[in-house]
Structure 1
Amino acid sequence: MGVLGQRFDGFVALQAVGTAGGIIVAWQSSRVQVTHSQVDVFSVTITLQLDGGEPWSLTTVYGPTQDPLKIEFLNELRAIRAGLVGPWAVTGDFNLILEAANKNNSILHRRMMGRFQRLLNDVELKEQNLVGRRYTWSNERQSPTLEKLDRWFCSVDWDEGHPDCLLQALSSSLSDHCAIMLSTNTSIEGFQEAVSAGWFSVEEHSNPFVDLSNRLRETAKVLTRWSPRRVGNLKEQILMANEVIFQLDRAMDRRVLNQDERWLRGQLKKKVLGLASLERTIAHQRSRIAWLQEGDANTAFFHSHASARRRKNHIFRLRRGNTLVTEPAEMCDTATEHFVELLGTPGVREHAISLQNLDLPPIDATELELPFRKRKSGK
């Protein structure tokens, strides 16, 4: 579980064959209770209960590429549905398309498309609308073949139990597939609290326009302070790189990327890998936890330890004689008095040295401010 981090303490996996076919379904036991798991040839199924809600089943698939195996794959899904009771969702890489619009050329396997459509009708599954992309896979060539292979299907009762869910396409920064993310709660943690704190931090003004202006101004200040703590500069760079990749992916849905765009997309994919590795390494060093592997993806663990260290280093009170001082201003005065007594106060200097009057030869130091460049050194 080193890839996912320490928070994900439960998982079920289907072993890969070479570089294809592998599936891993992982969860946090503190939030998700898994009561049943099943590993088949092309899928992994679990029955789960999230935060005390209604139990439902999730099947994650990796569809085969050969036609005979695709028929076996569809029969496997039909058999899984027959053995389940209650809400059901199916997601993953199906390696199948439903209709001609799911591919950017006219090379279609219509018979297999018909089999896929009949399966969905038989097991009564509906598709969640994907926001952001028309296709989810590319063969990464100059004139690419694009297909919608990654999907989320669900039963009617699952859909009724999750009315606010949102299925989004993410950037294809790490694969030839774009990841898809289903959110059942679209709010950003801490955002509402930050807005509320800023909005109600000002006193009410008799003029409603002035009152509105003051509240908006203070809310903007609070959000400005909140955003770096929530996102951070490094995460912001990763988000920006992923957003550019995502926009290029969307452009590739409609047209062929030119040479510069393909170059930029390739460079950004490499950049995301490097920045993600750097983020984990910085979090590791900042936490000073030496007994965990550097590759652990659970940066939240390191940040929690770093925050604990900051709290430990924070000065909550100082002693002045027999009195404890806790107010920040009084603590500042107490510390100043202590070090003034310890170090003394600066006296009046009778003499001073002026380097300008020494007639020293001028030195051009502007080169010291230039950025570093790679240079070849000879022996």
Structure 2
Amino acid sequence: MDTSWGNVLELSWLFMKILSWNARGLGRKEKRGKVKKLLKERNIDIVLLQETKKAELTEDEVRSVWGRDKMEFMVVDAVGSAGGLLCIWDPDVFQLTECCSNRRFILLSGTIFNQFNCAILNIYAPNDVGSRGHLWDCLLKLKEEFPNPWCLGGDFNEIRQIADRRGCSRRDRGMKEFNEFIDKCEVSDLPLLGRRFTWCNSFGGEKWSKIDRIFVDPRWLEIFNLKLWGLPRLVSDHCPLLMMEDERDWGPKPFRVLNAWFLHKNFRSFWESKWKESRVDGWAGFILIQKLKILKNGLRSWNVEVFGNIVNKLKTVEGELHKIDLLAEARDLDDDEKGRRREIRAEMWSLSRMVEWLWLQKSRLNWAMKGDKNTRFFHVVTKCRTIRNELHSITEGDVVYEEPSQVKNKVMEYFKNQYTKLWPDRPELGGHFPSADGSVRFDLLETEFSEAEIKLVVMECDGNIAPGPDGFNMLCF
């Protein structure tokens, strides 16, 4: 089982912004000024530009685009006025070690903040399907020579599904080859926030496509909390793509029961003792709600004090088992050491299963059996689902609210209005409705549900489903 996602670097305090954009030409000084303004306003650390349409870019021209004192760059010149690639980065953020390029891509291999080894690619794919296929094959061969986690950004001139295009002709062969390339490359397609398409024809605005993308290796998602935003189109028929970390504080996360708790040897006894010691008077529904509240507070403390960080625990146990194995290679183990090795091995598999259940639940995949699965896969699925489902901003008229407090207030205000009674008297349903009394098996309609029937329904429910907002899922019952 793969648990290497737990060996993440402590980079949470370092924030990074990468922008990819088909600028459709950098020849005019005014346009370079517009690009520079965007990079300065967004505080971009690394920029990947496609279609510079410049047969030669001087350092002064590159500096006229970049808004910082420190700068390193790499250029692929355009052929006449076609193509052209430009990568610019802050050397304090990205440290280059190797690079290679051709007319269609630039590959930069190095480290981010001198800690995370990676490869960043700036891609401008050709328009015809056959040439794109050759580019995909070339990049796949190149991946063997540069095995560090990839980040691919640029104009791929291809869609992944029919929904990514409107008002344009279909090209099923190109889509299939593109998706096969992504699968073989083992990269994740970051969900696009803020807009649906990335390109629009400049004239009628009737043709739309999502052909600009940023893909990342799963190891990027293990370390950085990345979001991909589509910015306004401005001076190009392509919109800039901004990949950045979300620095906003949305407050404490709501309580939720973790299925992995049920694998802990002390969990059931803690649950039973906490439930029995809580004394509440009142009617049955009130007693249940109050006892669940008391149990919730106890579980929060138990999770921190007893269950703890199972990823770190697993790493510690694996390290201790490795030391005992090295000791066994040097000499024979005594009985106590052999017993300890058996205990550690059993604990390691127990913790591994907990980690697997944790990410299986977070990914919300309905797998029939919780056996050995790829935990990194669950981690990536969880990240992408979270990005898609998160509410990042709210637009009201021409005003965009992005601060967490503003977004929360607007959501509360919206639902408060939805459930406010707007009329003094509710409408009545008129007409003649014949009674069902006397029909066949009418008695079954008024028969009370038996305890056995209720229990059967509860037991057949998916354990991950929560019947209410209190965080207790069906597995608890």
The two structures have a TM-score, normalised by structure 1, of 0.47
TM-score (norm 2): 0.38
Greater relative contact order (CA < 8 Å, ≥ 6 in sequence): 2
